Amino acid sequence: MKTIGMIGGMSWESTQIYYRMLNELTRRHLGGLHSASCIIHSVDFAPVEKMQSDGNWGEAGKLLASIAVNLEQAGADAIVITSNTMHKLAPEIGKACSLPLLHIGDAVAENVKKREIGRVALLGTRYTMEEPFMKERLEEHGLEVFTPDSNDRDLINHIIFQELCVGKVRDISRKRMLQVIEKLYDEGIHGIVLGCTELHMLVKQEELNLPLFDSTQLHVESIAEYMLEGVLAG
């Protein structure tokens, strides 16, 4: 079994979902007392969020790169960022660390393509929705990627940072998210990408009338496949 180096804590609410799901998949595949081999570096999110809001991505990149190097030295075989937004810094990690980075965008895009869906809406933090790093990654796989209008982007960003990142899951916010998604459906979108790992806590497939691609679930499944590749082959 390979060892996964996780950069987490952004927020810890979603990082704990990664840890639980990865162990559940390991047990499902291997049975018995088997569990995932992973090393987690969970950051203090408050200063990281300030770097984001201040636009200080250079400092954030140095931080994540140093963590990736430490995880490599600790024995990890691959690096995982348990946050869509912080994949903006994937190039910095790639320059500093020789390990493969298991990119969340690739896991999502591969599953969208399996469903033969071309037009998707990307929901996430304002950084993920408004900056090109995730949209372009998905487009490299041949997808058409759209985002909600400005007011809806503000709403989603508020729900993520003010509620989900501090463990608040509110029915009114779920209803508002479903309204945003219904509007996108009416505009001709064929699938919804939950491009924020905290959105896993709020929106479920059974509530929607079009396909949902949960980046958290899909990322963890791809991590488990990589981690267990040699074990399952044997």
The confidence band for 38, taking pLDDT boundaries of 50, 70 and 90, is very high
The confidence band for 13, taking pLDDT boundaries of 50, 70 and 90, is very high
The confidence band for 40, taking pLDDT boundaries of 50, 70 and 90, is very high
Smallest Cα–Cα separation from 190: which of 181, 178, 199? 181
List of E strands, the chain: 4-8, 38-42, 78-81, 119-123, 144-146, 191-194, 212-214
Got the DSSP string for 74-131? TT-SEEEES-SGGGGGHHHHHHH--SPB--HHHHHHHHHHHTT--EEEEES-HHHHHS
The confidence band for 233, taking pLDDT boundaries of 50, 70 and 90, is low
147 near 175, Cβ under 8 Å?
no
CA–CA distance, 124 with 187 (Å, rounded to integer) = 19
Q: Is the pLDDT confidence value at 234 over 70?
A: no
Determine what percent of the chain is predicted with pLDDT higher than 90.
Answer: 97
Two tokens at 163? Answer: 């509620």
Question: Residues 192-219, buried b or exposed e (16+ Cβ, 10 A)?
Answer: bbbbbbbbbbbbeeeeeebebbbbbbbb
For residue range 192-220, what is the model confidence (pLDDT) as tens digits?
A: 999 999 999 999 999 998 999 999 999 99
Predicted pLDDT at 135: 97
Write out the residue limits of the CATH 3.40.50.1860 domain(s) in the chain: 4-103+218-233, 104-214
> Residues 168-189: what's their mean pLDDT?
96
| Average pLDDT over all residues of the chain | 96
Predicted pLDDT at 231: 82
Predicted pLDDT at 209: 86
On whether the 104-214 domain is CATH 3.40.50.1860, my answer is yes
Q: Is the pLDDT confidence value at 171 over 90?
A: yes
Classify 193 as helix, strand or coil: strand
For residue range 58-78, what is the model confidence (pLDDT) as tens digits?
A: 999 999 999 999 999 999 999
For residue range 109-128, what is the model confidence (pLDDT) as tens digits?
A: 999 999 999 899 999 999 99
CA 80 to chain centre: 10
* CATH code reported for the domain at 4-103+218-233: 3.40.50.1860
